[in-house]
Amino acid sequence: MTDVWVNGASMMPTGRHYNVNIDEMAARVLDEALRDAGNPQLDALFVASATSEQAEKQQLLGAYIASRLGLDKIATYRVENADGSGGAAIMAAAMAVRSGLYNCVAVVGADKPNDVLSNQQQDIYSTATDTVYERYFGVTPAAQAAIMAKLYLNKYEYKYEDLALWPVLMHKNGANNPYAYMRKQAKIEDVLESELVSDPLRLYDVGPMADGAAALVLCRNRGFAKIVGMWTSTSSRPFNMREDYDVLYSAREAAERAYAMAGITPRDVAVAEVHDSYSIFGVLAAEALGLAPRGQLLASLKAGADIKVNLSGGLKSRGNIMGATGVYQAVEVLWQLLGKAPFKRADGNIGVLHSMGGVDRTSTIVVFAI
Amino acid sequence: MTDVWVNGASMMPTGRHYNVNIDEMAARVLDEALRDAGNPQLDALFVASATSEQAEKQQLLGAYIASRLGLDKIATYRVENADGSGGAAIMAAAMAVRSGLYNCVAVVGADKPNDVLSNQQQDIYSTATDTVYERYFGVTPAAQAAIMAKLYLNKYEYKYEDLALWPVLMHKNGANNPYAYMRKQAKIEDVLESELVSDPLRLYDVGPMADGAAALVLCRNRGFAKIVGMWTSTSSRPFNMREDYDVLYSAREAAERAYAMAGITPRDVAVAEVHDSYSIFGVLAAEALGLAPRGQLLASLKAGADIKVNLSGGLKSRGNIMGATGVYQAVEVLWQLLGKAPFKRADGNIGVLHSMGGVDRTSTIVVFAI
């Protein structure tokens, strides 16, 4: 495929940013990413946000971000794929560059779930499920994740203690990431003793919702990294009609297509950031990306294997920045490939992100190379 | 530019569709558009909706539309630019085809503003304004439209009775359009005697919000029409810092760029559909598209000129289908070019749509040719 180059990247620490509006957070990281890119002429802005409408009561977010920076006459678009908005926006932006219409575009992910109370956050989060066939009947993302966790653990003969290795690893990874929301180590006892959310999943299996913004500048001209493969796939299967509950169809399909486009195999992947809004999704996503055989990721963790997944701390520790998460993942993967602080340089030149919307409803895979 | 072909188009009558869900409306028109296109393999679906989140409490709408039709593994994206979502989604979809990643994509616009009460509709509509600098202070779209109308009428020495010619024309055009919401003629007295909304604008100056869905299928392979020019432009000027109040900057810029891309001048435009959510915007949009000199459109109407703008009836008569409006406009322009019922064949082969988000914050212009 025609490469799309990354010329700039920026992110702000995740947290509870009560003192700054969503458009100002977005403008700040966009400004930084543009400076990182050498201040190119920007043709378009793609905004990824899952909370701007329901939490901020703001449509047309791109127009107001552009206003803050005086970016007149550029095109602006918001791309919403629920918590998978970030990956979808990167995909749409990269296609726009490939189309030849634009030389340089930016992707900004921005969300402030903490602008609303946690019951309202859950309300918003659940609007990523099928309103008619799931949400009205109380089938929450947590319940769906719990069902998938139970069936996975049972099928591959694991105990819950094995799944608990995921949040322990995430907290280990995130503890040293100054951009992370939950910067602390966690022992397996912390996980096992935490509140039960939806059997078997406990509080430590859930990525906490954090505020944040991250930005990328994508251009036709040479930058410090390039997008060599990308794909979005949506699973049409309703949850109750799935053939298997231990696989993320959308992630597997998108990964196969993106790898084929990039001409790589999973063995070429030096680092990956996956959407572990619940720890079981982290496990299933890593397997869908081919980073472990199906059913074997927890066995690898138990054997102490050094998996290069979610070195940021993932959604568990870095935080779930809703629709902005995919843009955070992009910056993390890029900085890992480059060895830019706070990340160590990856042992390879290929990094991958997995951005998921809903419970395996849509996934975008983006393959970066330096 | 590389042409993007239109292979299928469909729309349903606008109205109050209490008996069908938004995803089912969307699936219905998508199915019809796919049949119109000869049922090609669909690679991606771009959804335009401005009410799905706030009125329907549904994110990820594309995934659930795909589910209803069993369209497995396709990519889905929702594009939100408030009431300009339709044009923005067509633009994003056409760029995706041009990028070479997809052969055939669909754009579906779907909105159901009547699923909420009219005060809630106005709440949602006002989220297209700048939350921090406008909405919090009660600066509504109606107020902004009224200011622009007053200044326009004053500057060009018109009376309100002159502006009232716009809704009269729209009702005349829409009366014979079976897809329109308000299918009745209106006399100038009806307009002048209608309720004052925001001085000088009256009830007949406001496009009523209607439910509806429309769809397009865009492909690389030859279809019945093609997109020969398109552009999106966003004005960064806050309302209180505009240089002029009698021009739609975003529409003018987008039209100039789209015409240049298509190699046409305004004289080549046989038909146009513009975003007249308030009648003053219809006047300003027609002028921004170069269909009349600045300040002269109402003079043309007074002189009885046959302007080929909003033969559908526009937002006033066909209805304001919020984010879906731009997709309706596309189908209307195409059917006018083709002479497909209920529309008469246009006297020319070039048609244009103008899709606007917010009050002149962002506009998309698409130029179709048969």
At A196, list the tokens.
Answer: 């039960």
pLDDT averaged per 10 residues, chain A (length 370): 89 97 98 98 98 97 97 98 98 98 98 96 94 90 97 98 98 97 97 97 98 98 98 94 96 98 98 98 98 98 95 98 98 98 96 98 98
Task: Find chain A residues with C-beta within 8 A of B2's C-beta.
Answer: 100
Mind listing the pLDDT tens digit for each residue in B87-100? 999 999 999 999 99
Q: How far is B158 from chain A (nearest CA, A)?
A: 30
> Residue B71: what are its φ and ψ, rounded to 5°?
-85, 85
Asked if the Cβ–Cβ distance from A58 to B236 is below 8 Å, we say: no
Nearest to B359 by CA among B187, B185, B184, B147: B147
Task: Find chain B residues with C-beta within 8 A of A135's C-beta.
Answer: 57
Instruction: Tell me the HSE value of B165 on the side-chain side, using a 13 A CA sphere.
Output: 18
What does the pLDDT read at residue A1?
54
The residue-averaged pLDDT of B188-193 equals 98
Nearest CA in chain B to A101: B95
What does the pLDDT read at residue A3?
81
* Straight-line distance from the first to the last Cα atom of chain B, in angstroms, rounded to the nearest whole number: 16
Nearest CA in chain A to B57: A127
The residue-averaged pLDDT of B306-320 equals 97
Task: Find chain A residues with C-beta within 8 A of B232's C-beta.
Answer: 44, 75-77
Angle between helices A279-288 and A249-262 (to 10 degrees): 40
Mind listing the pLDDT tens digit for each residue in B157-167? 999 999 999 99
**What is the pTM (predicted TM-score) of this model?**
0.98
Q: Of the candidates B75, B135, B234, which has its C-beta nearest A232's C-beta?
A: B75
Mind listing the pLDDT tens digit for each residue in B258-273? 999 999 999 999 999 9
Asked if the Cβ–Cβ distance from A72 to B237 is below 8 Å, we say: yes
Q: pLDDT > 90: what percent of chain B? A: 96
The interface predicted TM-score of the complex, written ipTM, equals 0.98
Q: How far is B1 from chain A (nearest CA, A)?
A: 9
What does the pLDDT read at residue B23?
97
Nearest CA in chain A to B256: A73
Q: Of the candidates A75, A95, A236, which has its C-beta nearest B101's C-beta?
A: A95
Q: How far is A153 from chain B (nearest CA, A)?
A: 27
Asked if the Cβ–Cβ distance from A76 to B362 is below 8 Å, we say: yes
Contact A90, A366 (CB under 8 A): yes
Tell me: pLDDT of B230 over 80: yes
Asked if the Cβ–Cβ distance from B253 to A82 is below 8 Å, we say: no
CATH of A4-117+214-219, one of 3.30.200.20, 3.40.1010.20, 3.40.47.10, 3.40.50.2000: 3.40.47.10
Instruction: Return the residue matching tokens 């990721």.
Output: A297
Q: Of the candidates B57, B77, B123, which has its C-beta nearest A92's C-beta?
A: B77
How many contacts does A have with B, using Cβ atoms within 8 A?
A: 211
Q: How far is B150 from chain A (nearest CA, A)?
A: 25
Please provide the average confidence, as pLDDT, over all residues in chain B: 97
Which residue of A52, A59, A68, A137 to mutate against B (max B Cβ within 10 Å)?
A59
Q: Give the largest CA-CA distance in chain B.
A: 58
| Domain range list for chain A | 4-117+214-219
Tell me: pLDDT of B1 over 60: no
Which residue of B1, B30, B59 to mutate against A (max A Cβ within 10 Å)?
B59
Q: How far is B361 from chain A (nearest CA, A)?
A: 6
C-alpha gyration radius of chain A: 19
* Amino acid at site B121: Q
Asked if the Cβ–Cβ distance from A81 to B74 is below 8 Å, we say: no
3-state secondary structure chain B: CCCEEEEEEEECCCECCCCCCHHHHHHHHHHHHHHHCCCCCCCEEEEECCCCCCCCCCCCHHHHHHHHHCCCCCEEEEEEECECHHHHHHHHHHHHHHCCCCCEEEEEEEECHHHCCHHHHHHHHHCCCCCCCCHHHCCCHHHHHHHHHHHHHHHCCCCHHHHCHHHHHHHHHHCCCCCCCCCCCCCHHHHHHCCEEECCEEHHHECCECEEEEEEEEECCCCCEEEEEEEEEECCCCHHHCCCCCCCHHHHHHHHHHHHHHCCCHHHCCEEECCCCEHHHHHHHHHHCCCCCCCCHHHHHHCCCCCCECCCCHHHHCCECHHHHHHHHHHHHHHHHHCCCCCCCCCCCEEEEEEEECCCCEEEEEEEEC
The residue-averaged pLDDT of B169-177 equals 97
Asked if the Cβ–Cβ distance from B101 to A1 is below 8 Å, we say: yes
Which residue of B2, B42, B60 to mutate against A (max A Cβ within 10 Å)?
B60
What does the pLDDT read at residue B2?
72
Asked if the Cβ–Cβ distance from B67 to A98 is below 8 Å, we say: no
